[in-house]
């Protein structure tokens, strides 16, 4: 009886060792298979909602043996079961030679092919809509104070609401990151977006925008009308900025809440989209004594003055030399 038990125990040890060796061989082969590089049909892989792992393998890999497919599916089921990592649908950019481990890792995340939209500073809602229609089947107007003008990357399978939510979040983060700036002692983020939109429509470059920013704040501090032409054009064109003539005196008297020749303070809302870099200029808190400016066509720049007498003198000289 003791001898039989010893023999049985020996058999069990041998069997256990055999199983361990078998499992080790299986594991090593499994690791080899999933890390071996296979050829894809193309470097752009498109996965739709209706496709399962078998179909994805058949459609995208050049040549996979039956045994390899078994290990591919085993790895995928392992990821699903233990890590809740399912395939995403959409387009993916991949190396044409890729291991199945890397393949599963990439397609288990959102699409890595990104679309790009550049929202130009000073754009109108109509301008942005002309860009949005290239990327989305359905979209709504985005208010000027909802987002910042910048270049944005987004996944191809994102819908419009996902895109808009992302941009609104970026705007929120921008102001949160700058909340300690002293400018917020007197002005709100909404105020800065309005001021920024005026600068976008009036300014030409960094230095020009910086001076115009100082003029706006100087006038606000002394309760002086801003008298910015862009607000008049916004008012008489209902925000379209499609005026094909110069402003006349009658326009400056047009009764509209956005007309800064008629009403003191800031317009109720922004008149265009505002760039991050323009808000950066505002946050510099650049100071000058300027209160007036006009555009010199000959020099292609704005001429700034500290008072009305100086302004009239420079303006008359410009008109005389035209």
pLDDT along the chain (322 residues), means of 10: 64 78 82 83 82 87 76 85 82 85 86 84 95 93 96 83 94 95 97 98 95 98 96 93 90 95 96 97 97 92 96 92 76
| Residue among 41, 33, 44 nearest 67 (CA) | 33
| Residue among 162, 166, 161, 137 nearest 151 (CA) | 166
Q: What is the pLDDT of residue 15?
A: 75
d(CA 275, CA 122): 8
d(CA 316, CA 261): 21
| Residue among 274, 205, 210, 202 nearest 231 (CA) | 202
Q: What is the pLDDT of residue 1?
A: 56
Q: What is the pLDDT of residue 214?
A: 98
Hey, how many other C-beta atoms are within 10 angstroms of the C-beta on 68?
A: 17
Q: What is the pLDDT of residue 6?
A: 65
Q: What is the pLDDT of residue 8?
A: 64
d(CA 303, CA 166): 39
Q: List own/partner pairs for 27-33 with CB under 8 A and 24 or more apart.
A: 30/71, 30/74, 30/75, 33/67, 33/68, 33/71, 33/72, 33/100
Q: Where are the beta strands (DSSP E) in the chain?
A: 37-39, 44-47, 90-93, 97-99, 114-118, 151-155, 292-296, 301-305
Q: What is the pLDDT of residue 106?
A: 86
């Amino acid at each position: 009886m003791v001898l039989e038990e010893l023999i049985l125990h020996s058999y069990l040890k041998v069997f256990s060792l055999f199983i361990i060796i078998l499992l080790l061989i299986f594991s090593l082969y499994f690791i080899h298979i999933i890390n071996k590089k296979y050829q894809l049909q193309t470097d752009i892989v498109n996965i739709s909602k209706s496709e399962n792992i078998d179909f994805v393998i058949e459609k995208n890999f050049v040549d996979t043996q039956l045994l390899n497919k078994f290990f591919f599916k085993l790895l995928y089921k392992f990821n699903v079961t233990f890590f809740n990592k399912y395939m995403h649908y959409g387009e993916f950019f991949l190396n044409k030679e890729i291991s199945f481990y890397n393949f599963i890792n990439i397609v288990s995340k959102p699409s890595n092919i990104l679309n790009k939209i550049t929202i130009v500073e000073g754009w109108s809602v109509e301008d942005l809509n002309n860009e949005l229609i290239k990327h989305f089947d359905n979209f709504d107007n985005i208010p000027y104070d909802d987002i910042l003008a910048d270049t944005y990357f987004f996944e191809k399978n994102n819908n419009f609401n996902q895109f808009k939510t992302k941009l609104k979040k970026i705007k929120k983060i921008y102001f949160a990151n700058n909340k300690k700036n002293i400018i917020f002692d007197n002005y709100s983020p909404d105020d800065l977006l309005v001021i920024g939109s005026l600068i976008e429509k009036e300014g030409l470059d960094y230095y020009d925008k910086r001076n115009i920013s100082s003029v706006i704040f100087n006038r606000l501090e002394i309760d002086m009308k801003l008298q910015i032409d862009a607000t008049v054009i916004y008012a008489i064109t209902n925000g379209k900025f499609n005026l094909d003539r110069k402003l006349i005196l009658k326009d400056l008297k047009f009764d509209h809440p956005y007309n800064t020749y008629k009403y003191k303070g800031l317009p109720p809302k922004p008149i265009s989209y505002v760039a991050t870099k323009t808000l950066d200029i505002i946050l510099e808190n650049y100071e000058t004594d300027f209160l007036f400016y006009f555009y010199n066509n000959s020099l292609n720049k704005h001429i700034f003055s500290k008072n009305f007498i100086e302004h009239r003198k420079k303006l008359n000289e410009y008109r005389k030399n035209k």
